[in-house]
Structure 1
Amino acid sequence: MRPEEHAFNGLDPLFTVNRACALDRGAPFPHSHANGILRYGRDPMGFKCGIVGLPNVGKSTLFNALTKTAAAQAANYPFCTIEPNTGEVAVPDPRMRKLADIAKSKEIIPTRISFVDIAGLVRGASKGEGLGNQFLANIREVDAVVHVLRCFEDDDITHVEGRINPVADAETIETELMLADLDSLERRTEQTRKRAGGKDKDSMAQLPIMEASLKLLQDGKPVRTLLSTLDAEELRILQGLNLLTAHPVLYVCNVAESDAVDGNEHTRAVAEMAKAQGAESVVISAAIESEVAQLPEEEAKEFLSALGLEEAGLDRLIRAGYKLLDLITYFTVGPKETRAWTIQRGTKAPQAAGVIHTDFERGFIRANTIAFEDYIALGGEVGAKEAGKARDEGKEYVVQDGDVIHFRFNT
């Protein structure tokens, strides 16, 4: 039977593959290695960030505010978060409303980001102290680490170390993660070295990566500093090692309401530390975000404006997360829905189609593509085609942020 050509652009009439199948949440997200980023998640509609921090730094308060839920118990004592709580929030993107207005879409479906509130960590976690074992297991399953640091003074909220020093707090957790990686890797490297001596091909390929990672850890450096030097195959091997310090890190400086606009000496110290590490940092007041989460949209805008803030902390956090993971968004647009899809920068068209469903990648023919700016300026698909701004791209096309794409594929 001759393969039948179909199309998908946000429920195009030609799209005949069963929609429930096409949006199957069980389909694995293609693990991307663009720009040295490891992708651990499987959700094709978002990415997962693990919120970590020492006890009583405000991470559960931040989680509750971001996900607008009280699922995490934000009590003032260590280890109140034992099992990870996961919440999803929509990624705000003002471009979607503009696209939907032109296409007269009935529904707008943004991409999502998942936050996992992971149990508070203390010194000694790498040896199982406190809730160390649960923490280490949970953090292995995320794409990035959102490290909440206490940058506020409050005599009513105890600090597990008895002082306010966010840089030292960051070093405490980083040290525990490096110690856990070191312990794991030392054992595995010795075993791999023996197998490599016996000419086992997989072990021979793994050994140089393991030894390079081990050297970094022994020198007190996280494995993520190695990522930019590896090629795609080496990154695949490193991903298989599932090392904690291979995750990219975003530092969130939790400040008092009075410091939400300009930060303070603590946030500036964290920013310097992050810059030296090639990491990102943002300043957020979890207390403000907690209040904003309870307000209707317009009231929330007025509340933030009165405080001198242009946007909610959620928006800043997501933008920083996108930058950290080198993520971009493309859109499928049609009369039924305008939908956003998350991919990593550098992803080619077939793999971008595979985020929607694996059948799209396997049977990929071409991607009719319109840049967001052209779609808006020319009044949509018809205007873009008339102006010669709608392009048929093949398998080697690298999808750009904001592309409006109509996929064609065989089944």
Structure 2
Amino acid sequence: MGFKMGIVGLPNVGKSTLFNALTQTAAAQAANYPFCTIEPNVGDVAVPDERLDTLAGIAGSGQIIPTRLTFVDIAGLVRGASKGEGLGNQFLANIREVDAVAHVVRCFVDTDITHVEGKIDPIADIDIIETELMLADMDSLEKRIQTLEKKAKGNDKEAKETLDLVNRSLVLLRDGVPARAVERKPEEEKLFQMLGLLTSKPVLYVCNVEEASADKGNAFSDMVMERARQEGAKAVVVSAKIESEIAVLDAAEQKDYLDAIGLAEPGLNRVIRAGYELLGLITYFTVGPKEARAWTITKGTKAPAAAGVIHTDFEKGFIRSETIAYADYVSLKGEAGARDAGKLRLEGKEYPVNDGDVLHFRFAN
């Protein structure tokens, strides 16, 4: 279980270049004209995690299997997409299928790459995309009201609760506020998600800067960072051009390249970490001589559900989990050392798995 992140933005902001770099493929066309991406391209990416390599080294694991995440390259939206401009309706539908949105924002000047709006203004670009998504959400909700009102009059409890969420969402959307800002109780969350609102998706702003600004960003990316801070969103600075150049290099060459330009790590790592934090995701590990493997779960997931990520039978027949904290596994040189030191714990059904836990599940067949 990873997560699916849709890459969106205006045409010619670097979405497909970033996608190609992230997935190390050339599946998405990176061309200098709108709608070069007609169908959403999907790519699975291994999540880099140095802890997994460390664990595998200690256990002498024969195979290392990282957890994975999915990026979906969604074609460039334009002004009027909510009314079907460009290929708007198709692209908006693609956004509904992702867990979070990576909004790529152009934060570089390049006279060879045209800007669909004729000027470089990252905040205006963000507003265009956000407005189109909000207009689409308003249209979707307004079409449901009449049917929900009829059901609510018939004492349909779910219809009443849904209608209340719809009306609360519309109040914000009409004021230019995305639906993710709707205040809701935990018990309302499922119904809210069933509305399928585009602006309910968590947003990660990806500031695409020129190569010289890849380390600290520039004045344009600073504007986006401040916007993200105000919204309570996440933002990262990436140079899609650099990412595309290092994507084809092996690990040693990547390190040399990054050292030469003063970067500590690829932008991919920053995007993944920000995405994990945005969605409240953590990683646990299973380690043995055959393989060391990483698994992605939501923070707060209890042990049986975490086991179910491996196989549904593990969750159904869950008895307990043998649990070692990552730091203990490393400092005590593996499972045997942790067991001897009393650091291997037996945890039951109510245990919330922690990030970095090394787990071995016991279950009944």
Aligned counterparts of 1:362 and 1:218: Cα–Cα separation in 2: 46
Deviations 1:3-58 (A, max 9, x none): xxxxxxxxxxxxxxxxxxxxxxxxxxxxxxxxxxxxxxxxx2x1110000100001
User: What residue ranges of structure 1 are gaps of 5+ in the alignment?
Assistant: 1-43
Conserved 8 A contact 1:224-1:247: yes
SS in 1 for 2:147: helix
In structure 1, what is the equivalent of residue 311 of structure 2?
357
Runs of 4+ in 1 over 4 A off after TM superposition: none
Aligned counterparts of 2:354 and 2:319: Cα–Cα separation in 1: 18
Aligned counterparts of 1:379 and 1:360: Cα–Cα separation in 2: 27
Conserved 8 A contact 1:119-1:134: no
Aligned counterparts of 1:397 and 1:188: Cα–Cα separation in 2: 41
In structure 2, what is the equivalent of residue 22 of structure 1?
none
In structure 2, what is the equivalent of residue 386 of structure 1?
340
Report % sequence identity: 67
CA shift for structure 1 position 300: 1.0
In structure 1, what is the equivalent of residue 63 of structure 2?
107
Conserved 8 A contact 1:152-1:254: yes
Code of the residue aligned with 1:342 in structure 2: it is T
Code of the residue aligned with 1:287 in structure 2: it is K
CA shift for structure 1 position 206: 1.7
Given the alignment of the two structures, is residue 232 of structure 1 paired with residue 186 of structure 2, yes or no?
Answer: yes
Given the alignment of the two structures, is residue 311 of structure 1 paired with residue 265 of structure 2, yes or no?
Answer: yes
CA shift for structure 1 position 133: 1.1
From 194, 204, 219, the counterpart of 2:150: 194
Q: Cα distance 1:230–1:391, how it changes in 2: closer, same or farther (>3 A)?
A: farther
Code of the residue aligned with 1:286 in structure 2: it is A
Q: What does residue range 159-198 of structure 1 map to in structure 2 within 5 Å?
A: 159-198=115-154
Aligned counterparts of 2:320 and 2:136: Cα–Cα separation in 1: 46
CA shift for structure 1 position 90: 0.6
Deviations 1:152-201 (A, max 9, x none): 00111000000000111011000000000000001112321221111012
Aligned counterparts of 2:321 and 2:229: Cα–Cα separation in 1: 38
Conserved 8 A contact 1:48-1:114: yes
Q: What does residue range 256-405 of structure 1 map to in structure 2 within 5 Å?
A: 256-405=210-359
Code of the residue aligned with 1:284 in structure 2: it is V
Aligned counterparts of 1:380 and 1:352: Cα–Cα separation in 2: 21
CA shift for structure 1 position 112: 0.6
Code of the residue aligned with 1:388 in structure 2: it is G
Tell me the TM-score normalised to structure 2 length: 0.98
Number of residues of Structure 1 aligned to a counterpart in Structure 2:
365
Code of the residue aligned with 1:260 in structure 2: it is A
Aligned residues: CA RMSD = 1.0
Q: What does residue range 106-125 of structure 1 map to in structure 2 within 5 Å?
A: 106-125=62-81
Aligned counterparts of 1:257 and 1:244: Cα–Cα separation in 2: 32
Aligned counterparts of 1:102 and 1:298: Cα–Cα separation in 2: 22
Aligned counterparts of 2:271 and 2:313: Cα–Cα separation in 1: 33
Tell me the TM-score normalised to structure 1 length: 0.87
Aligned counterparts of 2:191 and 2:334: Cα–Cα separation in 1: 44
Code of the residue aligned with 1:332 in structure 2: it is T
Conserved 8 A contact 1:178-1:217: yes
Q: Cα distance 1:274–1:96, how it changes in 2: closer, same or farther (>3 A)?
A: same
User: What residue ranges of structure 2 are gaps of 5+ in the alignment?
Assistant: none
Aligned counterparts of 1:395 and 1:214: Cα–Cα separation in 2: 40
Code of the residue aligned with 2:172 in structure 1: it is L
CA shift for structure 1 position 213: 1.4
Code of the residue aligned with 1:278 in structure 2: it is G
Aligned counterparts of 2:32 and 2:150: Cα–Cα separation in 1: 49
In structure 2, what is the equivalent of residue 203 of structure 1?
159
